[in-house]
Amino acid sequence: MMERLYWIETWGCQMNEHDSEKMAGILEGLGYQRSPNVEAADLALLNTCAIREKAEEKVYQALGRLGEAKRQRPEMIVVVAGCVSQLAGQQVRERAPMVDLVIGPRAVSRLPEHLARLEDERGIVDTTLYQDSLMRRSEPVRKMKERGKAWVTVMEGCNKTCSYCVVPATRGREESRQLDDILGEVMALAAEGYVEIEFLGQNVNAYRCPQSGAGLADLLRAAGRVEGIRRLRFTTSHPLHLRQPIIDAMAEVPEVCPALHLPVQSGSTAVLKAMRRGYSREKYLERVEQLRRAVPDIALGTDVIVGFPGESEEDFQQTLSLVREVGFDQMFSFVYSSRPGTVAGMMADSVPHERKVEQLIELQALQREIQFERHQRLVGREVEVLVEGRSRRSEAEWAGRTACNRVVNFPGEEVEAGQMLTVRVTEARPNSLRGELVRADEAAFLT
């Protein structure tokens, strides 16, 4: 058989990155191999994100670049997958007629059928939100991420109605996998040597086994008992759905990491209401308190949007004060972007873009300060690190993550990705820590 090469470029969240792993697994099952560059690829796949307008624009820029490669080699198959496909499938074909296949995130498992159809047909668009998209998840997954850590999808879709968000439109209604299937996958990953598992779902707290009715808390407890699993995480959590049983499981299951991403979006109750988030500033703060009572050292991450339609300067001040009050360990912040088909998309985008950018800069400066201060408290402490690979800053150093999801860089010899090590923190930086190796944990080498 002739060797065929594929190339995948991915934008967006972990869900999307994991979908890319699944599609890579499918392609390798069909005999494709990863291409070192896009020019040599027989199949180029763009896995896209539509969360903000900028993310969507990047796809068209990438398609523009791909156009040249396709002109040189017309037999190259161009696939557009992910959330832009779902939201604007036909438009993608209209703006970039050279695209051979447009496939939505809930149609990933149909990739082999569509590739076969491409033999005598061009321009296939499949944005069906297949109900069985999760049930059929038996495809091999080609891990692209660091050794040692793996993602496992537990649910897909989102039934929330946040007024700014396209995700319910791109990923469809919530659907959960069977608990036994998930545990089977966790056991298989543990047997391969993976020590950290992150459960994925757009609204992961809403996980409910369709057979037994078991929730996320039950899943965490069961997964914690799987031999070889050292760390469990889950993302993304909605403050409203993060109920006591999940918090109890976080406190009681030692494998569940003391870290949580809990997007707040705004510190102003009025804006939260307009966003249809279903909680007030006070309610969010109560949740944080509840979490900190149960897991005292918990590291909290969040997402914030600035410049929501109708947001006032006072609302923005409320966001700053909430960020100060909680003292997040990590924050992703965004300028509001009006999205088609959303409720907020129909409101006047009232905050001038320049003001939104200024607010973003101010918010990020505050967060940097808070993070730096929190990191300084860790200097001198010993932390357990899962090695991800070489440090981005220096080839001579390694990079790993603590249970709290902080990046630690450290020098060392005979270190391997996937290893669990104990490192002493020697220096704090705003976005990472530096440390020195104390000892390797011999129990956690990958096979």
Q: Which residues bind ligand SF4 (CB under 6 A)?
A: 12-13, 15-16, 49-51, 82-83, 166-167, 170-171
334 interacts with, out of ligand 5AD, ligand SF4, none, CB within 5 to 8 A per kind:
ligand 5AD
The per-residue DSSP string of 196-221 comes to: EEEEE-TTGGG-B-TTT--BHHHHHH
**Alpha-carbon span 256 to 274, nearest angstrom:** 34
| Closer CB to ligand SF4, 114 or 339, in the complex | 339
The residues that touch ligand 5AD, with contacts defined as CB under 6 A, are 51-52, 164-165, 263, 265, 303, 305, 334, 336-337, 339
- Shortest distance in whole angstroms from residue 19 CB to ligand 5AD: 15
Q: What is the amino acid identity at position 245?
A: P
- Shortest distance in whole angstroms from residue 175 CB to ligand 5AD: 20
Distances (CA, A) of 295 to 246, 348, 379: 12, 41, 21
Q: Please say whether the dihedral angle defined by the alpha carbons of residues 294, 296, 301 and 305, taken in this order, is positive or negative.
A: positive
16 interacts with, out of ligand SF4, ligand 5AD, none, CB within 5 to 8 A per kind:
ligand SF4
Q: What's the length of the chain?
A: 447
Helix then strand then coil, % of the chain, to nearest 5:
40, 25, 40
32 interacts with, out of ligand 5AD, ligand SF4, none, CB within 5 to 8 A per kind:
none
Residue 168 three-state SS = helix
- Shortest distance in whole angstroms from residue 251 CB to ligand SF4: 29
359 interacts with, out of ligand 5AD, ligand SF4, none, CB within 5 to 8 A per kind:
none
146 interacts with, out of ligand SF4, ligand 5AD, none, CB within 5 to 8 A per kind:
none
| Closer CB to ligand SF4, 170 or 371, in the complex | 170
Name the one residue in this structure whose structure tokens are 């109920």.
Answer: 243
Q: What is the amino acid identity at position 291?
A: L
| Closer CB to ligand SF4, 12 or 224, in the complex | 12
| Closer CB to ligand SF4, 20 or 402, in the complex | 20
**Alpha-carbon span 277 to 297, nearest angstrom:** 26
Query: Checking DSSP bridges between strand 124-126 and strand 101-103, what pairing results, if any?
Result: parallel
Q: What is the amino acid identity at position 28?
A: E
Q: What is the amino acid identity at position 20?
A: S
178 class by beta-carbon count within 10 Å (0-12 exposed, 13-18 middle, 19+ buried): middle
Residue 74 three-state SS = coil
160 interacts with, out of ligand SF4, ligand 5AD, none, CB within 5 to 8 A per kind:
none
| Closer CB to ligand 5AD, 1 or 348, in the complex | 348
151 interacts with, out of ligand SF4, ligand 5AD, none, CB within 5 to 8 A per kind:
none
- Shortest distance in whole angstroms from residue 62 CB to ligand SF4: 15
| Closer CB to ligand 5AD, 20 or 265, in the complex | 265
Q: Which residue is nearest to ligand 5AD (CB)?
A: 303
| Neighbour count for residue 381 (Cβ, 10 Å) | 12
Residue 137 three-state SS = coil
- Shortest distance in whole angstroms from residue 10 CB to ligand 5AD: 15
| Neighbour count for residue 73 (Cβ, 10 Å) | 12
**Alpha-carbon span 102 to 123, nearest angstrom:** 8
- Shortest distance in whole angstroms from residue 45 CB to ligand SF4: 14
- Shortest distance in whole angstroms from residue 372 CB to ligand SF4: 27
Q: Which residue is nearest to ligand SF4 (CB)?
A: 12
| Neighbour count for residue 128 (Cβ, 10 Å) | 14
171 interacts with, out of ligand 5AD, ligand SF4, none, CB within 5 to 8 A per kind:
ligand SF4
| Closer CB to ligand SF4, 5 or 111, in the complex | 111
| Closer CB to ligand 5AD, 184 or 341, in the complex | 341
Beta partners for residue 424, in sequence order: 382, 436
- Shortest distance in whole angstroms from residue 191 CB to ligand SF4: 29
265 interacts with, out of ligand SF4, ligand 5AD, none, CB within 5 to 8 A per kind:
ligand 5AD
| Closer CB to ligand 5AD, 103 or 360, in the complex | 360
Residue 56 three-state SS = helix
